[in-house]
Amino acid sequence: MKRSRLLVGGMTCAACARRIERQLLKIDGVDKVSVNFANARADVTHAGAVSEDALQATIERIGFAVIDERSRQAAEAKLATQLRRKLILAAILTVPVVVVSMFPLLNAATTAWIAFLASTPVVLFCGRDFHIKAWKNARLRTTTMDTLVSIGSLVAWAWSSAVFATGLVAPEAPLAGAALYFETSAMIITLILLGKQLESRAKRRTGEAVRKLATLGAKTAFLEDGREIDRDAIEVGMRFVVRPGEKIATDGVVVAGRASLDTSLLTGEPVPVDVDVGDEVIGATINTNGSLTVEATRVGRDSALAQIVELVDEAQGSSAEVQRLADRISAYFVPAALAIALLTLATWLLTTGNIDAALTASVAVLIIACPCALGLATPLAILVGTGRGASLGILIKGGEILEDTRAIDTVVLDKTGTVTEGRMHVSEVLSVGAVDASLLRAAATLEARSEHPIARAIAAAHPERGEVTDFENQAGVGVQGLVDGREVRVGKAALFDALPPDLERRALDAEAQGATVVFAGSRACAGLAFALTDRIQPSAKRAVEALHELGLEVILLTGDQRRSAESVGKAIGVDRVIAEVLPAQKEATIRALQADGRRVAMVGDGINDAPALARADVGIAIGTGTDIAIEASDLTIVSGSCLAIADAIALARRTLSTIRGNLFWAFAYNCAAIPLAAFGALDPMIAAAAMATSSLFVVTNSLRLRGFRSYRELS
């Protein structure tokens, strides 16, 4: 199967999106179609034999345009300009129509001429797009919002024109004395255009986060030889220099230099990150001081920034289950509105015989029933919510993920690399009496020959080196050798014939506090010990508190020894600690929690966390971890901050709450207003204004998500 993405121009409501979906699904070989009204995009999964030209031809045949990605902004700007010009013209012509109709300062004939001449171009020219699309819909035996607007405005204008013409030709005819609705027809088009103009401006703001992300990267890079090249020309393996104040052109590894990087644009973290030789760096982050030489490791679409933009873009094109329910309801909404309008017209004529009142009520029903707000309710909230998440370094993979977070009651945290920094360091050197400096130097020298993470931590803590001979590595136990002719061993207690009682006691105390202890000395007796710890993230304790504030139980799940895990769990305040579990047991633990009726979110960063992340109801990957963990997750935290976990859950809940609020008011508006219109209590002009206002409410309510304050910002 192949996937094609097409940008569609000309959609005016969710019904348009559904019509495109139905037509594309009729093509042989098309498997799945998702058309998003809010971001004007069609994602089509199809067999390789189906060409994009065939997809485009189908879309254009039913009255829509396919916009080229490269010219999208120009096309959107052109459409916005055309809309603005039509709105201005409609407003200029509508004002005199309303004035002479509402305030009859002139004689009836003059008033009628002004109303007819001014309203006609508004209805037929400014409203031309509505009529064309309504006609195309009718030919395909379908209806959309354009159908309601077109019929409502044309009926009011055609009736008034007939009354006006009859008055000119046969002044004594009964029809000649009927009421005119020129101001209603013109006002309907003008108010709808105004609503669409305001809606268009607001929708453009919803995509700012992703557009901002896409433009974050540096445009050029300076190679080691001083040449300046375009960012897109960088290839894997090339080395480029990053001076203070410059952006890193693409992902890579530092091969020379030391600096502090501002990663806040990507991660939402305000604290600079120090990097040195061997550290990985992400494109678009800013070098605040120092000079770096970076070797490119990922370029173009493979870079972290490009993948983030792609993930956010895909999430914004997805739909939640609540939206699919709304789509199913609104599929029948427009036909139902047309039926109610006809029923209203017939009922008024049969019960009162008053054609003026019947026409007014039926037109009001048509206008008030336009389902714009319903179509915008979900996609706009997802657009804004996922965009705000991207600016905070939180990637939400789809609208359905937002719903899954609603029922989450348990958060399971991996320890290493999630709650802790994932790097061991020497927190204390234990000895009986004064530390033997020569033994310390010899131990660091031996450990420098090993690749084990603990060995690297000991070697990094004590940089002085001696000369090593007869080096031997005993897997799982330790290392030994001659350092400057002195026999030295570093490792577990089993390497030594004896441990001084005081040193052994101090080692046991350190282990009780969660440290890993490594001894050093001669074969006969250990002379000192290193207490190594994996630092707890500064934000971990506050993160657990924030999760508790959200009403969640927090469990620490790790393969580490129980004593160390319980020490960490106590320090950060989790509810339970589950330790000494293998990767398969982590997944089994998640299943067991789910079997108990829990809805579980799993947070992890490593390959060993991937099965549990995939099993959980919501998988949250720490972006500093492995690609496998990120692929298996539903939410990704670009930064390594634990507090971002609470931000992600809170933002997802807030976005879903906004969607539900939008849908409630969209449905409530239609349910309350249609009966009022049918009973003649709602003027068509008021109905048009109310319809535009309901759409603006949904847009404005969605845009409030841009002001979401994260726990990190509030801390």
DSSP secondary structure letters along 40-62: TEEEEEE-TTS-HHHHHHHHHHT
DSSP-based three-state secondary structure for 672: helix
The position carrying tokens 């849908």 is 663
Could you give the CA distance from residue 338 to residue 139 in angstroms, rounded to a whole number?
16
Report which DSSP code applies to 419. Answer: I
For residue 431, which amino acid is it?
Answer: S
Could you give the CA distance from residue 560 to residue 427 in angstroms, rounded to a whole number?
18
Beta-bridge partner residues of 480: 472, 489
Could you give the CA distance from residue 149 to residue 198 in angstroms, rounded to a whole number?
17
Structure tokens at 317: 């094109």
List residues with catalytic annotation: 414
CB atoms within 10 A of CB 285: 26
Phi, psi of 270 (to 5 degrees): -80, -15
DSSP secondary structure letters along 473-525: EETTTEEEEEETTEEEEEE-GGGSS---HHHHHHHHHHHHTT-EEEEEE-SS-
Rg (CA), the chain: 34
Q: Do 44 and 7 contact (CB within 8 A), yes or no?
A: no
Report which DSSP code applies to 67. Answer: E
Could you give the CA distance from residue 564 to residue 205 in angstroms, rounded to a whole number?
48
Angle of helix 333-351 versus helix 145-169 axis, rounded to 10: 30
Could you give the CA distance from residue 649 to residue 671 in angstroms, rounded to a whole number?
33
Q: Do 229 and 223 contact (CB within 8 A), yes or no?
A: yes
Give the number of residues written for the chain.
Answer: 715
Q: Do 239 and 223 contact (CB within 8 A), yes or no?
A: yes
Q: Give which of 210, 216, 212 is closest to 231, Cα–Cα.
A: 216
Q: Give which of 207, 148, 219, 152 is closest to 184, Cα–Cα.
A: 152
Structure tokens at 269: 């973290």
Q: Do 322 and 272 contact (CB within 8 A), yes or no?
A: no
